[in-house]
Structure 1
Amino acid sequence: MKILHIGSEMYPLIKTGGLADVLGALPYAQQAMGNDVRVILPLYPQVAEKIGETQEVATIGTFSGVVTLRFTYFNGLGVYVIDAPHLFNRRLPYYDDNYQDYGDNYKRFALLSYLGAQLAEGLDHWWGRADILHAHDWQAGLACAYLKSWHSPVKSIFTIHNIAYPGRFQGYHLAELGLPWEFFSPYGLEFYGEMSYLKAGLFYADRVTTVSPTYAQEITEHIAGGGMHGLLQTRQAEGRLSGILNGVDDTVWNPETDNLIISNYRATYMQGKAKNKAELQRYFGLPEEKESLLFVMVTRLTEQKGADFLLAKIDEIMQHPVQLVVLGSGSPDLENALRYAQSRYPQQIGLKIGYDEALSHQIIAGGDVILVPSRFEPCGLTQLYGLKYGTLPLVRKTGGLADTVNDSHKESIENRTATGFVFKHPDADDFMEAVLRAINLWKKQKLWSSVRQNALAQDFGWAKVAEQYQALYREVA
């Protein structure tokens, strides 16, 4: 089966979030199953630095000027890149240094969708027409609309990675994008007087998926649907909405082979985890106390991610023999509040504002508990990394977090299903109750080790995910 993925980022070429990890793993897993799989993404400067030499496939005139489509094999996978410097030669992919969205994002990602749809239709004559076009998030949503407007036989799948980002733009831009005006309607891509690229994917794709079964249900409800819940209820009733849980790339996230951590380890030889903890404490200038429970958090600092729950209870948490390490960036208010907390508890809190891929591996390997207290979370990957590294996740019961972490209580510990700590309500008090349960379990090291072994035994490999998508593709095709 010929499969073309369209996305705005792909690890390790360019990454701002979990979408990149999916595009950096799922196509390879599908290729290993015998499919002919390719990916198309913009040629950002970071991509140009890493991808190496490319070959010209086509140079064509488009609604945004003349652009060149290039191709190469990256780590054995066919990757197309859109060479359009006037649109993509920018240091940050979505917004400027002041976190302001680029004014021409409507055109930049319409072009990504347009060329992706053209490619699926056979723009590369050597590859031919795709069987499945798989578009990811709002940046690729218009690809499904282009295929419908051309009455293409190519089947399309649209995956929602986060419905909170609808890709909204002024409706008058539609005239520039080569789509018919009748598409600008409630039964199309119109969304409260504007156009939404995400809604285009939801409306025009043959099937809609999201990244966990629980999130697939949540987004059909008013509170989590971002205004799209009515359409998603229709898709669900039609049998065209499903949730497929993301996986973990074992070649990138594996404590046995990870070359970004100070000491490798495995479930039957855990001494290396203690060494990683000591290294993490040294890095952040914290006392090297193996007895202290070390909480870690690697996240975007936003209210969605629940960082404010942590800050609301920071004084209470610091009264216990614990340490905290945070790596992240985002809201200036949250960043400053964390800096202030670190200045008050320098012997207990380590903080780095920003993103550091190598350091994130060391943090997850060295921590005892990883905090993922999100208000909503389509899938979440950091809790999966935590399970993989024996760093017990503390999560809210929502989306993919609910699907992947089992709470630790007397019964689940006894029947060896406990893998972390789960709280239900999106508030600081419920979060704190879970923190206290983690602190209390830490005092019982035999039980802690048992839960940690359960976590390490979980299997969230991409091969299982690829099989589920394969079944979906066959059904659609």
Structure 2
Amino acid sequence: MRSLLVTSEYYPLIKTGGLADVCGALPPALAAQGVDARVLLPGYPAVLDAVRHTVTVAPLPDLFGGQGRLLRGRAPDDTVLYLVDAPHLFARGGGPYLDPAGQDWPDNHLRFAALSWVGAHLPAGNDGWQPQIVHAHDWQAGLAPLYLRSRPDRRPRSVVTIHNLAFQGLYPSWRMNELRLSPEHFTADGFEFHGQIGFLKAGLVFADRITTVSPTYAREIMSAEAGAGLDGLLRHRSAVVSGILNGLDTTVWDPAKDTALPAAYAANDLSGKATCKSVLQRRMRLGEARNRPLFGVVSRLTQQKGLDLLASLVPAIVRAGGQLALLGTGEPGLEATFRQAAEDHAGHVGVLIGYDEQLAHLILGGADALIVPSRFEPCGLTQLQALRYGTLPVVSRVGGLADTVIDANTAALADGAATGFVFAPSTAAALADAIGRALALFSEPDRWRSIQRRAMSRDVGWTRPAQAYRALYQDLLQADSTA
């Protein structure tokens, strides 16, 4: 079984968020299930520099405004990567989507149409490899299923995975011709979305199957509240929509082997976690005290992530004897609010605006609890990391957060099932109640450690998700063979 993952990000080569983590970890997990999974990526400079043993597969002579070539090489974990080496589209500074000034690249429509086009028309190299499944990820690859429909030969089957429905890739209708799109599909039943071209909508209309990254999010996006204007389409296609929960790369996130931690620990010996806490307190200029509950945050600072809810509760956390270590970047107003909180509560609140991979690991290892108060969350990875590190998640009951954390309510505490603290609705009052319950339970060390061990025992790896994707691929191919 041969699958091509088409994506704009791939950890550890290029990353802005969870999309990279998923697309970096899923191919080797699929390989363990017998799937020959390869990845198609834009040829960003950092990617071209990092990929090993590249060879030219084929020229790409007419690629949305210039010439390019298709390269094949190996990722650090030996996954086969195909790279769209098109200097006119990808050889530039800045990030994958934004220029150095933080603005969208004005030709993003061409850049990701090119990625989708190559994904749908992948040339066979000297090994003759061709995909049976084209698995497009998010709006950046959303046109691939539509481009596949234009192939005159027997086409691969297609899957689109929604990582975040809020980002849809919308462009003016007058760009249809340069994107090689037919006006016959510019309808409400096609890729038209409120008078614009919808990259993600094209994928949702024309893909053979649609997945998203948690079962609860799959249900949520069929509602008007969470459907971002596409809920009607998703309800219409509900028979081919499924939610497959993301996993975590447990070789990267393992407190027993994590070189970013000052001390290793495991469920059967949590002593190293106390060392991690002390180091984190020093790093964030917090008072060193093992008996003070330390809440961590590793997040984009946005309204979607609910960080405004947390900001309003910082004084109450400090009054209750808690500490806060926050790492993130995002909306300027929230950045300023948390900077001010660190000044107002020196020794109790530590804030680093930006991103630091090493510090992210240290927060997961050293904090007692991790706060994830998202208003919506397709899956979430930090709560999985928190479970793995025995850092009890405090999460809102939405999306993948609801699917992965078991609330420490009376029943769950009684039967030993609790792994964290879940609250609803997404309000400051509900979050305050969950934090209050966490503070109360922290004062009972034996019960707290018991929940930590339970959290660390949860299977958060990629084996089960990869099995689900393999089953989906197999179902598609069997349906194709009997059609």
Same fold (TM over 0.5): yes
Give 1:49 deviation, angstroms. Answer: 3.2
CA–CA distance in 2 between the matches of 1:92 and 1:297?
24
Give 1:337 deviation, angstroms. Answer: 0.6
Give 1:272 deviation, angstroms. Answer: 0.9
Residues 157 and 206 of structure 1 are in contact (CA less than 8 Å); yes or no, is this contact kept in structure 2?
Answer: yes
CA–CA distance in 2 between the matches of 1:265 and 1:51?
33
**Pick from 165, 168, 178: which aligns with 1:166?**
168
1:40 to 2:43 alignment: no
- Which runs of structure 2 are paired with 1:308-457 in the superposition (5 Å)? 308-457=308-457
Residues 171 and 193 of structure 1 are in contact (CA less than 8 Å); yes or no, is this contact kept in structure 2?
Answer: yes
Give 1:125 deviation, angstroms. Answer: 5.1
Secondary structure of the corresponding residue to residue 375 of structure 2: coil
**5+ long unaligned stretches in structure 1:** none
1:81 aligned residue: 83
Q: Kindly provide the CA deviation profile for residues 261-305 of structure 1, in whole angstroms up to 9, marking residues without a partner as x.
A: 111111011111111111111111211111110000000111000
1:218 aligned residue: 220
CA–CA distance in 2 between the matches of 1:82 and 1:12?
18
CA–CA distance in 2 between the matches of 1:124 and 1:230?
41
- Which runs of structure 2 are paired with 1:218-367 in the superposition (5 Å)? 218-236=220-238, 239-367=239-367
- Which runs of structure 2 are paired with 1:179-218 in the superposition (5 Å)? 179-218=181-220
- Which aligned segments of 4 or more residues in structure 1 are displaced greater than 4 angstroms? none
1:110 to 2:113 alignment: yes
Q: Kindly provide the CA deviation profile for residues 330-359 of structure 1, in whole angstroms up to 9, marking residues without a partner as x.
A: 101100111011110111111111111121
Residues 45 and 91 of structure 1 are in contact (CA less than 8 Å); yes or no, is this contact kept in structure 2?
Answer: no
Give 1:463 deviation, angstroms. Answer: 1.1
CA–CA distance in 1 between the matches of 2:197 and 2:103?
19
Q: Kindly provide the CA deviation profile for residues 111-147 of structure 1, in whole angstroms up to 9, marking residues without a partner as x.
A: 110111111xx44352332110000000000001100
Aligned residues: 473
1:470 aligned residue: 470
Residues 33 and 470 of structure 2 are in contact (CA less than 8 Å); yes or no, is this contact kept in structure 1?
Answer: no
Single out whichever of 304-313 and 63-72 deviates more from structure 2.
63-72
Q: Kindly provide the CA deviation profile for residues 403-451 of structure 1, in whole angstroms up to 9, marking residues without a partner as x.
A: 0001112221110110000111111111111111111111111111111
CA–CA distance in 1 between the matches of 2:460 and 2:286?
33
In the alignment, residue 437 of structure 1 is paired with which amino acid? R
Percent identity of equivalent pairs: 47
1:157 aligned residue: 159
In the alignment, residue 55 of structure 1 is paired with which amino acid? V
Single out whichever of 91-100 and 26-35 deviates more from structure 2.
91-100
Q: Kindly provide the CA deviation profile for residues 300-346 of structure 1, in whole angstroms up to 9, marking residues without a partner as x.
A: 11100010001111112211111101111010110011101111011
Q: Kindly provide the CA deviation profile for residues 73-119 of structure 1, in whole angstroms up to 9, marking residues without a partner as x.
A: 21211001111222212321111244321111111100110111111
Q: Kindly provide the CA deviation profile for residues 46-89 of structure 1, in whole angstroms up to 9, marking residues without a partner as x.
A: 22332244211112222221011111121211001111222212
Secondary structure of the corresponding residue to residue 413 of structure 1: helix
Secondary structure of the corresponding residue to residue 104 of structure 2: coil
Secondary structure of the corresponding residue to residue 175 of structure 2: helix
Q: Kindly provide the CA deviation profile for residues 174-210 of structure 1, in whole angstroms up to 9, marking residues without a partner as x.
A: 1002222212111111100001111011001000000
CA–CA distance in 2 between the matches of 1:98 and 1:447?
50
The alpha-carbon distance between structure 1 residues 124 and 384, as it changes in their structure 2 partners (threshold 3 A), is same
